[in-house]
Structure 1
Amino acid sequence: MRPIRNVVVVGGGTAGWLTAGVIAAKHKSRQPHGFTVTLVESPDVPIIGVGEGTWPTLRTTLRRMGISETDLFRECEASFKQGARFNRWTTGKADDGYYHPLMLPQSFGQVNLAQHWLSQSDESFCDAVTPQGRICDAGLAPKTIATPEYDALANYAYHLDAGKLSTFLRKHCTEQLGVRHVLANVTEAVLDQNGDIASVSTREAGEIAGDLFVDCTGFHALLIGKALDVPFKNCADTLFCDTALAVQISYPDPDAPIASHTISTAQSAGWIWDIGLPTRRGVGHVFSSAHISADDAERELRAYLGPAGSDLPVRRLSIRAGHRETFWKRNCVAVGLAAGFLEPLEASAIVLIELSAKLIAEQMPACREVMDVVARRFNETTSYRWGRIIDFLKLHYALTRRTDSEFWRDNQRPETMPDRLRGLMELWRYHAPWTLDEFDRAEEVFPAASYQYVLYGMGYSTAVPAGTNDADAIMAGRAMRENAAQTQRMLTGLPRHRDLIRKVVDLGLPRI
């Protein structure tokens, strides 16, 4: 029996340090008995650091790693994220917009409010079932300074400076979790006779051996792609956007409001993200180079920014939409960009890192002899997650009624939609998305509620059957009344977003 004791994470950044931290925290009690986590990071490869949006799962991940939420805000230029607002996605008109909030609808899991909203309510679906859209409209935070770290009054995630996050995680992992940090350039992976990776060769630190290797080398995919030759599955026929232009812009004054949600504004051949951090906004244009030139895309971006953005430097990034056909092969598992990448429309990149790291840590094989069994389970779960995310991202495009450009017309063609999504959209013509019907996994990245917010935010029509269950109708009415009352309580009781961030930095949140 060959026990798994030495885990080697190759590559730093958010993917490498989150993965190393999650594994080290889970197996910290084994370290005195010979269990090690080593992270090998090139001193010459810059962090991509564009994606600054996260999902609420990160709160649990950081808490399990023993990280203080107050320190996160002080060190990573963090702000609160309560969801996303999508502007001009449905019709392209100026008043076209809806929220995908992070709060579940009232009484979710007990009653499907979408069925009742469709036949009874005149207000938006989001406002009818959750306070969060109105909280965002009012520029409020999701908690108060008296709310303990990681606790919430309204569900939230974070917007972060990705470069500062990596530095912050590295410090915590090396000083608190016992992760060994090696600064060295990996030149090749050395394979064993059986095809496993025996070690990685580095210029500065020689050979680094391990029992399990985690490839976090980004788009280079040095281990999973180059050494083990795992093919890449392209999904450009479904998701057309292949280029991003990114820019950072300062606020006009230090007291300017900070949006507590991501703003996604559709353009002629893509969309623009707008993320508010305490000292700046991160803005970028994601577009399809087959439908618009880079020069025209930049003009759209600068038009969005206004005069203040006319001379700002723009960074150009390529997007290769897709993922590896296999994520865990032999004794190597890919996480982060090495596993794949999709456009950042719903901030799925970091949550996929978290879920993969959690799965590796929780199902850490005891020995090499059972690793292939664990790998099969990991690959099945991870493939499902990637497929579901592709479905969900495509849903935003498939529902559009825009016909003003070839990009939007092409996105409505049925042959560009995954088979599973086409089937679900047919089902949803007669039945609102619900928990057990189409979402049967314990950890769905996007639950049924997310599909409801997008479907009904974009005006999708579901036929409501005649007659309703009296008990459900009573429960639905009670839930919607409670939502209205909760909305008023939160609008009067929550602080301004920027004010809370300042208090967190100055005073700190109560520790749990």
Structure 2
Amino acid sequence: MKPVNNIVIVGGGTAGWLTAGVIAARHRGRQPHGFSVTLIESPNVPIIGVGEGTWPTLRTTLRTIGVSETDFFRQCDAAFKQGARFNRWTTGAVDDGYYHPLMLPHGFARLNLVPHWLLDASGSFCDAVTPQGRLCDEGLAPKTIATPEYEGPANYAYHLDAGKFSSFLQAHCCDTLGVRHVLADVTDVRMADNGDVAAVDTAQAGMIEGDLFIDCTGFKALLIDGAMKVPFRSLTDTLFCDTALAVQVPHDDPTDPVACHTISTAQTAGWIWDIGLPTRRGVGHVFSSSHISADEAERELRAYIGPKADGLTVRRIPIRSGHRETFWKNNVVAVGLAAGFLEPLEASAIVLIELSAKMIAEQMPACREVMDVVARRYNETSHYRWGRIVDFLKLHYSLTRRTDSDFWRDNQRPETIPDRLRDLMELWRYQSPWLHDEFDRAEEVFPAASYQYVLYGMGHRTAALPGAHDAEAELARRAWRDNKAQTARMMSALPRHRDLLNKIAEHGMQPI
């Protein structure tokens, strides 16, 4: 038996350091017995550094690896995220907008409120079932300074400075979790007779051997592509956006309000993200170069920002929409951009890193003899997750009623919609998304509630069957009342987002 003890991660950034932290924390008790995590990072390759939106899963991840939430906020220029607002996605009108909040609909575990809401459908679905859209409208935080770290009455994720986040994770991994950090450029990959990677040669640190190699080298995909020759599966026939323009916009005043949600505003041939941090906003335009030129896209971006865009430098980032045909081959696993990338419409990049790292850590093969079994399970789960994210992203486009440009018209063509999503959309003409639609798998990344928020936020109407849900009518009425009461309580009790961020910086949160 050849035990798997030496884990070598090639590449840093968020993917590398988050993966290192999750694995090292999970197997910390094995370190005195020979288990090690080594991260090799080139001193000459900058990180992409624009993944600034996260999911609530990051709270659990940071807590699990032993990070103080107060330190995280202070060192990563972090802010709270309570969901996303999508503007001009349905009709393109100025007042066209809806929320995808992070809180589940009231009573979601026992009752599907959609059929009852459809009988009336007055007001937005989001406001009818959760307080979170109202909290975002009013710029309120999801918790108070007295709430312990990682807890809160409203579900939340984070906005963060990706560059600072990588440095923060690096310090925690090396100082607390025992990760070995090697600053070196990989010059060659040595292969074993069985097709595994045996070692990597580096210019500054010589040869580094390993039992399991994790490729976090970004789009370069040094190991999964360069050594393992795993093909890339393009998804540009479904998701057209292939370029991003990113810019950092400073606040006019340090007391400016900070939005507690991501703002996504549809454009002629793509959309603009707007993420609020304590010291600045991260703004970017994701677009299809087949439908608009980069110069035109930049003009739209600068027009969105307004006069303060003058003098700001815009970075251009290519998007290769798709993923590897195999994520784990032999003793190499691809994580992060090396595994693939999809446009950041629903902030799926970091959560895919989290889920990948968690599964690798939890199912770490004891020896090489069982690694291929673990790899097959990992690949099956990963393919499912990536497929469901593609479905969910495409849903935003396929529901649009915009016909003002080729981009929006092309997105509605049936042949660009994945088969599974097309079947579900046909189903949802007559019954609303619910757990029976395969949203109860452990590998599910978006629950049925997420589909409900997007569908009914964008004006979809499911045929309501008269009398079909009469037995639940009183439960639904009680849920409406409870949601209104909860909304009122939270609106009166929660602080302004900026105020809470200032208090965290000055006083810190209550420790766990």
Paired position in structure 1 for 2:44: 44
3-state DSSP of counterpart to 1:237: coil
For residue 442 of structure 1, report the CA deviation from its aligned partner.
1.6
Equivalent position amino acid for 2:325 in 1 = E
Equivalent position amino acid for 2:424 in 1 = L
Stretches of 4+ moved more than 2 A in 1? 468-471
Paired position in structure 2 for 1:298: 298
For residue 469 of structure 1, report the CA deviation from its aligned partner.
3.4
Paired position in structure 1 for 2:424: 424
Equivalent position amino acid for 1:57 in 2 = T
For residue 251 of structure 1, report the CA deviation from its aligned partner.
1.1
For residue 380 of structure 1, report the CA deviation from its aligned partner.
0.3
Q: Distance in 1 between matches of 2:73 and 2:405?
A: 41
3-state DSSP of counterpart to 1:345: helix
Q: Distance in 2 between matches of 1:70 and 1:266?
A: 34
Paired position in structure 2 for 1:217: 217
Residues 54 and 348 in structure 2, CA contact (< 8 A), matched pair in contact too: yes
Q: Distance in 1 between matches of 2:208 and 2:241?
A: 38
Paired position in structure 2 for 1:476: 476
Paired position in structure 2 for 1:152: 152
Paired position in structure 2 for 1:188: 188
Paired position in structure 2 for 1:441: 441
Residues 248 and 280 in structure 1, CA contact (< 8 A), matched pair in contact too: yes
Paired position in structure 1 for 2:509: 509
Structure 2 portions without partners, runs of 5+: none
3-state DSSP of counterpart to 1:415: helix
3-state DSSP of counterpart to 1:258: coil
Q: Distance in 2 between matches of 1:434 and 1:501?
A: 36
For residue 426 of structure 1, report the CA deviation from its aligned partner.
0.2
For residue 121 of structure 1, report the CA deviation from its aligned partner.
3.5
Equivalent position amino acid for 2:103 in 1 = M
| Alignment pair present for 1:64 and 2:64 | yes
Residues 439 and 448 in structure 1, CA contact (< 8 A), matched pair in contact too: yes
Q: Distance in 1 between matches of 2:414 and 2:121?
A: 31
For residue 311 of structure 1, report the CA deviation from its aligned partner.
2.2
Q: Distance in 1 between matches of 2:139 and 2:78?
A: 16
Paired position in structure 2 for 1:17: 17
Q: Distance in 2 between matches of 1:115 and 1:179?
A: 51
Paired position in structure 2 for 1:127: 127
Deviation readout 1:303-355 (Å, 9 max, x if unpaired): 00111112211000000000000000000000000000000000000000000
Equivalent position amino acid for 2:70 in 1 = T
Paired position in structure 2 for 1:406: 406
For residue 363 of structure 1, report the CA deviation from its aligned partner.
0.2
In the TM superposition, 1:191-270 aligns within 5 A as: 191-270=191-270
Deviation readout 1:376-419 (Å, 9 max, x if unpaired): 00000000000000000000000000000000000000000000
Q: Distance in 1 between matches of 2:344 and 2:368?
A: 36
Equivalent position amino acid for 1:48 in 2 = I
Paired position in structure 1 for 2:86: 86
Equivalent position amino acid for 2:147 in 1 = T
Q: Distance in 1 between matches of 2:303 and 2:387?
A: 35
Q: Distance in 2 between matches of 1:254 and 1:216?
A: 36
Residues 109 and 435 in structure 1, CA contact (< 8 A), matched pair in contact too: no
Paired position in structure 1 for 2:35: 35
Residues 115 and 469 in structure 2, CA contact (< 8 A), matched pair in contact too: no
Equivalent position amino acid for 1:135 in 2 = L
3-state DSSP of counterpart to 1:144: coil
TM normalised by structure 1 equals: 0.99
CA root-mean-square deviation:
0.7
How many correspondences in the alignment? Answer: 512
Residues 399 and 412 in structure 1, CA contact (< 8 A), matched pair in contact too: yes
Deviation readout 1:350-383 (Å, 9 max, x if unpaired): 0000000000000000000000000000000000
Residues 241 and 286 in structure 1, CA contact (< 8 A), matched pair in contact too: yes
3-state DSSP of counterpart to 2:187: strand
Paired position in structure 1 for 2:370: 370
Q: Distance in 2 between matches of 1:402 and 1:264?
A: 16
Q: Distance in 2 between matches of 1:121 and 1:270?
A: 29
For residue 438 of structure 1, report the CA deviation from its aligned partner.
2.6
3-state DSSP of counterpart to 2:100: strand
Paired position in structure 2 for 1:467: 467
Which one is further off, 118-127 or 395-404?
118-127
Paired position in structure 2 for 1:320: 320
Paired position in structure 2 for 1:2: 2
Q: Distance in 2 between matches of 1:436 and 1:498?
A: 41
Paired position in structure 2 for 1:73: 73
3-state DSSP of counterpart to 1:440: coil
For residue 437 of structure 1, report the CA deviation from its aligned partner.
2.6
3-state DSSP of counterpart to 1:80: strand
Q: Distance in 2 between matches of 1:464 and 1:213?
A: 53
Residues 140 and 497 in structure 1, CA contact (< 8 A), matched pair in contact too: yes
Equivalent position amino acid for 2:356 in 1 = S
Residues 121 and 128 in structure 1, CA contact (< 8 A), matched pair in contact too: no
Residues 247 and 284 in structure 2, CA contact (< 8 A), matched pair in contact too: yes
- Percentage identity across paired residues of the two chains: 75
Paired position in structure 1 for 2:340: 340
Q: Distance in 2 between matches of 1:420 and 1:463?
A: 21
Residues 52 and 162 in structure 1, CA contact (< 8 A), matched pair in contact too: yes
Equivalent position amino acid for 1:189 in 2 = V
Q: Distance in 1 between matches of 2:307 and 2:470?
A: 57
3-state DSSP of counterpart to 2:444: coil
Paired position in structure 1 for 2:104: 104
Q: Distance in 2 between matches of 1:177 and 1:443?
A: 28
TM normalised by structure 2 equals: 0.99
Q: Distance in 2 between matches of 1:246 and 1:469?
A: 48
3-state DSSP of counterpart to 2:107: coil
Residues 116 and 469 in structure 2, CA contact (< 8 A), matched pair in contact too: no
For residue 468 of structure 1, report the CA deviation from its aligned partner.
3.1
Q: Distance in 2 between matches of 1:427 and 1:121?
A: 20
Deviation readout 1:456-508 (Å, 9 max, x if unpaired): 00001100111033442111111111001000101110000000011111111
